[in-house]
Structure 1
Amino acid sequence: MFDIDKWQEIFATIKKNKMRTFLTGFSVAWGIFMLMILLGAGNGLSNGVAENFMRDAVNAMWLWSGRTSMPYQGMKENRQIRFTNADYELIKHLEGVEFTSGRYYISGNRFAYGNESGEYTAVTCHPELKKVESIEIEKGRFINEIDILETRKSVVLGKDIYDALFKNKEAIGEYVRINNVPFKVVGICLEGGGTRHRNAYIPVTTGQKVFNGANRLHNFALTINANSIEESKAIEDRVRAALARKHKFDETDRAALGSYNKLENYLQTMRIFEAIKIFIWIIGAGTLIAGIVGVSNIMLIVVKERTKEIGIRKAIGASPASVVGLILLESILITTIAGYVGLVLGTGLMEGVNFFVEQQYAAAAAANSGNGETIFRNPTVDLNIAATATMLLVFAGAVAGYIPAKRAARIKPIVALRDE
């Protein structure tokens, strides 16, 4: 392995055929370079989509009421389904449900403070909405259980509302008017689901009492304890069945009870990206194999050109193993160096792209109060993947040189010496 004469001979052969060696190495370098680019781009898309899902809790589910679209137990279709606070208590205690919040819609939400005013959205909710929608508190606090029980006129303002009404002045403890009803500001927040923070959150019981909602609720936001599509569907079916029994409609009636299961969509999307990664590996491996085949063909030519030399070696006592070792070392050297160059260039380029993407993301996040949208994030290649690719190259180089090496080892000295 460390025979200096053998290495000198290998380098002399490479130096003698510079263009051939360069083109052979280029095909291998291009193969691993494209593999790194494809893997990095696939990771970037996967990470970007996953991050967008993470803006709310990944295991979130939303339910809303509608009108029945089919008869049920002698009752006609087109019946209005109306949720109440009792439905909130029902859902909250179902198996598999983690956090739950109900919502009563308020229309015509005009906010005012001093001489400033604007149209924004007032969201009535329970405290657990903070976990369902990944709401980040920038200052103060979120709605709590005491607000719910005592129907306090408390409000948590989205960052955009605060900026528009207070102009960077202290807001905690101040009162804003929502449809001419004063609410005390208890917190400033950043919403998890978007780049515009134009929602304000008030206790659902207060919204029902102040805005004539009685015990009415329009929809529910909840998180579920599930790790697979099958588990999430089972919990969703359990919730639908419980509400269907209570309100007397067919549990398969999607018009009566609409739902959006985010975990199911997330897992299905991630499965698609896993399939894309496999496809990328197939394409990249195919490109790499094409380069390795090129190396093997070149080594066959090398063996052909050096047939007489190999015959002389064997005639003076060289063993078949030494002949095989010589050809294998040259093949491994070319593929390893060329592959490493392609690996470094590919990972380096993706690191450069990642730096540019992060700069753009940071600028977007700063412009949108820390909540930038993206579909492409961290397009880098894992070090384990790079190490695996390097080992694959060494193995491929050995395979590429093995067939020509075995052919060289089988050459009989007398036949080799006659070769022209």
Structure 2
Amino acid sequence: MFDIDKWQEILATIKKNKMRTFLTGFSVAWGIFMLMILLGSGNGLSNGVSENFKRDAINAMWLWSGKTSIPYQGMKEGRQIRLTNNDYDIIKDLPGIEYTSGRYYIGGNTFSYGNEYGEYTAITCHPDLKEVESIEIIKGRFVNEVDLKQARKSVVLGKDIYDALFKDKDAIGEYVRINNIPFKVVGICMEGGGTRHRNAYIPVSTGQKVFNGSNRLHNFALTVDAKTIEESQAIETRVRETLARKHKFDSTDESALGSYNKLENVIETMKIFQAIKIFIWIIGIGTLIAGVVGVSNIMLIVVKERTKEIGIRKAIGASPASVVGLILLESILITTIAGYIGLVLGTGLMEGVNFFVEQQYAASAATNGGNGDTLFRNPTVNLNVAMAATMLLVFAGTLAGFIPAKRASRIKPIEALRDE
């Protein structure tokens, strides 16, 4: 079982060749250290991008009108396409549509309360915009159907607007003036994980009536019931074809009806990060292999240096298996200890980076209404992955030592004793 003499001999050999052992172990430790750094960095970038995607619903889609660029049924290009409330009624009932909001932009407007004022953006919308753009209500409520039907002068303020106009005072039930028209504050919100909350939301019916919008809509924000790019594109095509028939333009004309499909963008981006992770694994494993090859080379040198000693061992009765075991144990010992050191240093460094990143994120969130802004988040390595990498390293170290060990076991005593 546990042969103390064998271990003492291995330790004596390592102690005798300190520099060689150190360089061998360093190459292995560096390999797994770099693998942990690469994997952690890849996870950090992937998590950061995923965090930013959460600012809106992942399956969100936006459509906006423009001018035709393709002649259609005898009509020339350059026609302005105008979306209306009727288009909203049509789109929200189409199969595959979950939440829908028409939006009419009023643009830059002067908001005032008492002696405080500022230039902000007022967006007219339907209640579903809260779900589409992941708007978080921190006090009060969002625009509702009653506001819409009665064209109430209700407004939901972005937190930045509230902070600028009201400071620490309670704003719910108070009136702010938008372009000198009073609106009752019904809620305070933060905009789906963003770091700037400078938009105010009012019922679309109110905005159209008060700001001379008639039944005009500038764009639609909606979410679709789709899990794949193909499903999402099919729903988008259905919406485009429906609007194209109504407004008489080519459904493929991107200038007439522009669109942005977030689910498609999310899936494509995640595919890129999957490819990056695979690339990182290839580089990391290549680095590990380089270290393991170094172990194998050193073991070959060890066998060469100890040829006479091995010959004497075999001459006095040592079995080939015992010779193989001796060389393998030395290889496994160096690989395991060096690999563990590299693993601890690599994961420790990434945990330290993670702590620093979280501190920065928390500081950013504290100054931006509870929402941080980062492209790098949680750059740590899964414990199972780290352990699997260590086991892989030990296995590779065993394999690296096997070839020299096998060579040692085949040495004939008479030839070894003649070796100079």
Whole-angstrom distance in 2 between the partners of 1:48 and 1:215: 40
Q: For residue 90 of structure 2, what is the aligned residue in structure 1?
A: 90
Whole-angstrom distance in 2 between the partners of 1:324 and 1:94: 73
Q: For residue 411 of structure 1, what is the aligned residue in structure 2?
A: 411
Whole-angstrom distance in 2 between the partners of 1:374 and 1:108: 28
Q: Which runs of 5+ in 2 are unaligned?
A: none
Whole-angstrom distance in 2 between the partners of 1:8 and 1:221: 73
Q: For residue 3 of structure 2, what is the aligned residue in structure 1?
A: 3
Give the 5 Å matches for 1:321-336. 321-336=321-336
Partner of 2:349, secondary structure, is: helix
AA at the equivalent of 1:142:
F
CA contact (8 A) 1:158 1:198 kept: yes
Q: Do structure 1's residue 59 and structure 2's residue 59 form an aligned pair?
A: yes
Whole-angstrom distance in 2 between the partners of 1:168 and 1:222: 34
Deviations 1:339-387 (A, max 9, x none): 1101100111111111111111111111111122211111111111101
CA contact (8 A) 2:331 2:398 kept: yes
Instruction: State which drifts further: 308-317 or 247-256.
Output: 308-317
Whole-angstrom distance in 2 between the partners of 1:361 and 1:417: 68
CA contact (8 A) 2:43 2:381 kept: yes
Give the 5 Å matches for 1:185-264. 185-192=185-192, 194-264=194-264
Whole-angstrom distance in 1 between the partners of 2:84 and 2:231: 27
Whole-angstrom distance in 2 between the partners of 1:90 and 1:145: 18
Whole-angstrom distance in 1 between the partners of 2:108 and 2:322: 88
CA contact (8 A) 2:193 2:372 kept: no
Partner of 2:105, secondary structure, is: coil
CA contact (8 A) 2:244 2:250 kept: yes
CA contact (8 A) 1:104 1:208 kept: yes
Partner of 2:176, secondary structure, is: strand
CA contact (8 A) 1:108 1:179 kept: no
1:255 Cα deviation from its structure 2 partner = 0.5
Whole-angstrom distance in 1 between the partners of 2:212 and 2:84: 13
1:56 Cα deviation from its structure 2 partner = 1.2
Q: For residue 391 of structure 2, what is the aligned residue in structure 1?
A: 391
Partner of 2:182, secondary structure, is: strand
The sequence identity of aligned pairs, in percent, is 84
Q: For residue 284 of structure 1, what is the aligned residue in structure 2?
A: 284
Partner of 1:322, secondary structure, is: helix
Instruction: State which drifts further: 312-321 or 398-407.
Output: 312-321
Instruction: State which drifts further: 153-162 or 225-234.
Output: 225-234
1:198 Cα deviation from its structure 2 partner = 0.6
Query: Which ranges of 4 or more aligned residues in structure 1 deviate by more than 4 Å?
Result: none
1:193 Cα deviation from its structure 2 partner = 5.4
Give the 5 Å matches for 1:353-392. 353-392=353-392
Whole-angstrom distance in 1 between the partners of 2:81 and 2:287: 58
Q: For residue 184 of structure 1, what is the aligned residue in structure 2?
A: 184
Deviations 1:45-71 (A, max 9, x none): 111111111111121111100111111
Q: Do structure 1's residue 127 and structure 2's residue 147 form an aligned pair?
A: no
AA at the equivalent of 1:360:
Q
CA contact (8 A) 1:133 1:193 kept: no
CA contact (8 A) 1:61 1:222 kept: yes
CA contact (8 A) 2:172 2:185 kept: yes
AA at the equivalent of 1:215:
N
Whole-angstrom distance in 1 between the partners of 2:190 and 2:105: 21
Partner of 2:237, secondary structure, is: helix
Computed over aligned residues only, the root mean square deviation of the Cα atoms, in angstroms, reads 1.3
Deviations 1:164-203 (A, max 9, x none): 1112111101111112221111110111153111101111
CA contact (8 A) 2:343 2:386 kept: yes
Q: Do structure 1's residue 34 and structure 2's residue 26 form an aligned pair?
A: no
Partner of 1:356, secondary structure, is: helix
Whole-angstrom distance in 2 between the partners of 1:411 and 1:246: 88
CA contact (8 A) 1:110 1:120 kept: yes
Instruction: State which drifts further: 78-87 or 306-315.
Output: 306-315
Whole-angstrom distance in 1 between the partners of 2:315 and 2:237: 81
1:109 Cα deviation from its structure 2 partner = 1.7
AA at the equivalent of 2:341:
V
Deviations 1:228-274 (A, max 9, x none): 22222222112111111111110110000001111111111111111
Q: For residue 343 of structure 2, what is the aligned residue in structure 1?
A: 343
1:313 Cα deviation from its structure 2 partner = 2.1
